[in-house]
Chain A
Amino acid sequence: MEFLGKYKAVYKAKAGCEDILSKAQDGGIVTAMFAYALEAGIIDGAIVAGPGKEPYKPEPMIATTVEELFAARGTKYSISPNMSLIKEATRSYGLDKVGIVGTPCQIQAVRKAQLYPIGLRDVPDKIALVLGIFCMENFPYQGLYQMVEDHCATKIDNVTKMDIGKGKFSVYTERGINAQIPLKVTHKYEQPGCHVCLDYVANLADVSTGSVGTPDGWSTVFVRSATGEATFNKAVEAGWIVAESMDGVKPGLELVTKLATEKITKNQKYLEHRKHAEHAALKPLRNPYI
């Protein structure tokens, strides 16, 4: 279980509101949590991956209303540097309680920022709610573009949804699934930095969520910290989120554990390889982990 990090509880959950679900990736947990937290005053705003100028190119944005949050629904399979706004949120936006959503590496950055706020004056105590999303790897935009336009032969402007699941990358247009390619094909477009990542389910988030483990339309939710627990339970009470036990859910935690183990052992091997111990003539590459 060590690969899934510490958690207080795990649920099968989805948003309680149809508006969120209609354009959510899976259970709409991130949108629902932030919407509840905004309404309840737990956060003043949230840093989310909003729509960018180019189709499916996310741009980090600070949502201070539920409407703005809704604009950011759905997964974008590309890099949204959400941490880049963490200081700005507390400055020009004047937020005292900031929510942030991110991939596991971004959540690691949040926690490092809280303990080592080297260039982030007055930021650590203003981080109020940290939501993590499961992440196997991410694609720089140009890589994603290549996958969609070249491999899937689909104009990216016409895409209505992208999805990764069951070993395939699927591209949807108005007419439904337009193209599917095996994930194997997409590997070479992955961000190199993803290959040293030792976290699959955002172990350091307050609450982490992702589609893996639960049926379509639902999300798996790990409630990890005291803050996360309090907020999640209140969001369920308030009806923003519907949560059910993971007991008996197929494929359930077994699949989450399997994928986490696969990712992390593979990347541990890669980190080991980066030492270049097998070639005396090669100098080692840098290892970020202390």
Chain B
Amino acid sequence: MGLFEKLKSLLFGKGDVSEGTQDEKPVASKQEKLVSAKHEAPVTKAKPADMMVEQKPIIQKPKEEKPVADKITVGHVHMSGCTGCLVSLADNYEGLLTILDKYADLVYCLTLADVRHIPEMDVALVEGSVCLNDECSMEEILETREKAKIVVALGGCACYGNTTRFCRGGQQNQPQHEAFLPIGDLIKVDVYIPSCAPTPQQIRNVCLMAYLLLKGTEEQKALAAAYLTPLMRLAGGGADTCGCSHTCACGCDLMTEIINQGLCCGCGSCAAACSVRAITMQYGKPQIERDLCIKCGGCSAQCPRSFFSFDVCGQYESITHLIGEVMKP
């Protein structure tokens, strides 16, 4: 480690790797890495070949303030949903392994972790809506809020009710279950990941940003906060972006929040995002087949005129690069 630190302070003027071990991969602060990676990387490459294994973390992530010593804890809480959101998380394939290896411990998940009761955790990914007629669900959603620092509504059902909005009971073997609410109608929710199913990449991005927000350097925290802000606003935090309820979504939002507000630019993102093909573009504007809409909120959230951050999207190149780097196995 002595050599390690020396080399690092020589190269970058900082030697803050002492707490980490070499096999733990540090996360780079985005701007620093990009600025410095270009200039500094070739210098380290010139070292002897037998040093390469040790140096690797430095080459990839120069100037890290903190190696990934402590992971965040993440849990998946299953309310009334179809498990599609969890499948989507798993569909990150080897990316999921990377996340679990380096950034997050899965401390609760009915299907993937052998834990019976909801433990304390940093991030709770809640899938599904809450059935009012099921006492156990009511207890669990309350417990989730109490035990998790950040509650993420994962997918259409948790955010907006989605298909469970159409429930009216009478289904075997629990015909008495008829009232389902998006979790935001019962507890305070911090972050929304809309759409049915939410995409593996969106879930991955939120997990990584939550990690940076909780464990990163000041700079990383700022980036993560900027990235998560729109998703927090969807959940009702911060400034209200629209006048309607935060727990209602529908294809109609494209009309009421976008076209009616004079904001539609006719790009077609909504039509591409719709998972049930309820939206077609007619004469440059979305035409919504409302009977097909399952109320997942994907279309309006994908719309560049529902929210758009120049700060975040302007850095698309470096953020994409950062995600690519940290997701390397």
Contacts and interface: CB of A to CB of B under 8 A. Distances in A.
A121 B199 contact: yes
Contacts of A123: 272
Interface string B201-214: 11001000000000
B261 A285 contact: yes
A262 interface: no
Interface string B23-45: 00000000000000000000000
Contact of A85 (B233, B268, B284): B268
Contacts, number: 182
Q: Is the interface of B mostly helix, strand, loop or mixed?
A: mixed
B93 to A, nearest CB: 11
Contacts of B304: 105, 108-109, 112, 288
B62 interface: no
B149 interface: no
A195 to B, nearest CB: 7
A227 to B, nearest CB: 8
Contacts of A79: 266, 283-285
A193 B269 CA distance: 14
Interface stretch (A134-142, A171-179, A235-243, A247-255): A134-142
Nearest to B321: A226
Given A83-B269, A85-B268, A225-B317, A140 B199 contact: no
Interface residues of B, number: 59
B156 to A, nearest CB: 10
B180 interface: no
Given A82-B268, A84-B272, A111-B313, A118 B263 contact: no
Contacts of A193: 262-266, 305
B79 interface: no
Contacts of B195: 118-119
B272 A288 contact: no
B308 A108 contact: yes
A15 interface: no
B194 interface: yes
Interface string A90-127: 00000000000011011011011111111111111100
Contact of B302 (A116, A122, A203): A116
Nearest to A105: B265
Most buried by B among A60, A78, A83, A87: A83
B266 A112 contact: no
Interface string A171-201: 0000000000000000000011111111000
B199 A119 contact: yes
B266 A81 contact: yes
Interface in B130-180: none
A194 B265 CA distance: 6
A258 interface: no
B85 interface: no
A290 interface: yes
Given A120-B302, A226-B317, A84 B308 contact: no
A286 interface: yes
Nearest to A289: B308
B184 interface: no
B320 interface: yes
Given A86-B272, A102-B267, A204-B313, A117 B281 contact: no
Given A112-B313, A114-B316, A88 B272 contact: yes
B290 to A, nearest CB: 17
Given A85-B268, A142-B283, A197-B265, A115 B312 contact: yes
Most buried by A among B265, B308, B311, B313: B265
Nearest to B197: A121
B230 interface: yes
Contacts of B230: 116, 290
A103 B267 CA distance: 9
B99 interface: no
Contacts of B296: 119
A140 B320 CA distance: 34
B301 interface: yes
A84 B284 CA distance: 10
Contact of A81 (B284, B299, B301): B284
A45 B262 CA distance: 33
B133 to A, nearest CB: 31
Interface string B266-302: 1111011111000011011100000000001011011
Interface of A: 57, 60, 78-88, 102-103, 105-106, 108-109, 111-125, 138, 140-142, 191-198, 203-204, 225-226, 285-290
Interface of B: 88, 193-195, 197-202, 205, 227, 229-231, 233, 241-242, 257, 261-269, 271-275, 280-281, 283-285, 296, 298-299, 301-314, 316-317, 319-320
Given A86-B268, A111-B313, A119-B195, 8 more contacts: A81-B266, A113-B269, A115-B312, A116-B301, A119-B299, A125-B201, A286-B263, A289-B310
25 contacts: A57-B283, A78-B284, A83-B271, A84-B268, A84-B281, A106-B267, A111-B316, A112-B269, A112-B302, A113-B272, A116-B231, A118-B195, A119-B274, A124-B201, A124-B320, A140-B283, A142-B283, A192-B262, A193-B265, A196-B262, A203-B314, A288-B307, A289-B307, A289-B309, A290-B311
